[in-house]
């Protein structure tokens, strides 16, 4: 699993960013549920998803201030 490049994310509109934020939050929740039910998961995916969410939220904030 590779991380998205920031340049590809910067080209998105605010509506697309919002939809990606919702999608990423759902994925993080599903990972937490799997972890709590002791299903096998790959721990590095948490780091990737949290980083992706942080990038999206930062970009959304930057676009709102412009």
For residue range 47-60, list pLDDT tens digits in order.
Answer: 999 999 999 999 99
pLDDT band at 3 (very low <50, low <70, confident <90, very high): low
Q: How far is it, in rounded angstroms, from Cα 20 to Cα 40?
A: 25
List the alpha helices (DSSP H) in 3-43: 6-10, 14-36
Mean pLDDT across the stretch 16-22? 95
Entry pTM: 0.85
pLDDT tens, residue by residue, 28-37: 999 999 999 9
Q: Are 49 and 31 in contact (CB under 8 A)?
A: yes
Domain boundaries, the chain: 23-65
**Closest C-alpha among 23, 28, 19, 21 to residue 58:** 21
In the predicted model, what is the mean pLDDT of residues 1-20? Answer: 83
Write out the two tokens for 8.
Answer: 């590809």
Taking residue 20's Cβ as centre, other Cβ atoms within 10 Å add up to: 19
């Amino acid at each position: 699993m590779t991380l998205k490049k920031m340049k590809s994310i910067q080209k998105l509109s605010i509506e697309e960013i919002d939809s990606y934020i919702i999608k990423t939050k759902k994925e993080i929740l599903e990972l937490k549920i799997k972890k709590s039910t002791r299903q096998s998961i790959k721990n590095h995916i948490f780091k990737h998803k949290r980083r992706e969410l942080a990038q999206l939220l930062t970009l959304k904030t930057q676009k709102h201030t412009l």
